Amino acid sequence: MTAADPDVAALLARWSERGEPAMFAGTDTDEGIAAARERFAALMRETVRPASAAPEVHVDVPVPVRVHRPAERTTATLVVFAHGGGWVLGGGEVYDPVAQRLADDTGAVVVAIDYRLAPEHRFPKPLHDVLEGLAWAIDHAADWDADPARVALAGDSAGANLVAGAALARRDRHEPVVGTLLVYPPPDFEGRYASVRENGEGLFLTARDVVACSKLYLGSANPKGDIRLSPLRADLAGLGPTIVATAGLDPLRDAGAAFAGALTAAGVDARLREHPALVHGFLGFTGVVPAADEAVAALHREFAALLAA
């Protein structure tokens, strides 16, 4: 196993020393879920680089959204973003620094979808919210001087799963997006991957967390054969250029790599970007882990080139 980046190792050691529980510990009760959400928000505040600006918040719309304008506008492409958090955590102001950084680095307006969270709103409601929010953003692109015919998608973790589903839906409507950025995605609910065993303990996201958030999201739904849950199992031909970023010390590493491979096999312009010494969640570590900050900057530069192509 590759050693963790020294700053990642120091961060994980600090959390261990102060007794931080696993991210989804105790989420079998309503109180535990509320505590996990607050814990996630507190950790993000501790580790992410602060946002450069506040978003424009829309709540009286079909799905609440947070619109992030870049410091310097360089493209008319509109980016729609879905946050991570295992379909259970995150959203709202917690993810403002991540979405604003994406806007600033790419020069694009970023519309972050505040989709409903599980277990209160299980599959497929979050995906429906992303699709509805995407449609609303396209309809209102002119409000931000964006081009409704040039739409891109981005997401991390659970959000990457959701925007992968949205990319397939747009493709099926013969309206493919111009590009997609998927950061440490979970694209497959059916497969078994070695990285879950290799990286299942002590590296921020645990194997138990993966099981817990999946159960909270699915409820009684059967994931087998449902490409809305497992886009890896879909016909991927015709999707737009896609960047897939993985972390070497992430239980989801191998599934993400498999998705990039499946995209390539389907004739999609897919780019796998591996970060061997980082862990799941590194988009949120940009304030305390220089290697994470550099990785995010590089991913955003490449994504910006897709938006401008």
Is the separation of the CB atoms in 148 and 118 below 8 Å? no
Residue located via tokens 């694209």: 187
Question: Which of 16, 52, 157, 220 is the catalytic position?
Answer: 157
- How far from 8 is each of 20, 218, 235, CA to CA, in Å? 15, 31, 37
Task: Please say if 157 is a catalytic residue.
Answer: yes
- How far from 140 is each of 55, 131, 288, CA to CA, in Å? 16, 14, 36
Which residues are catalytically annotated? 157
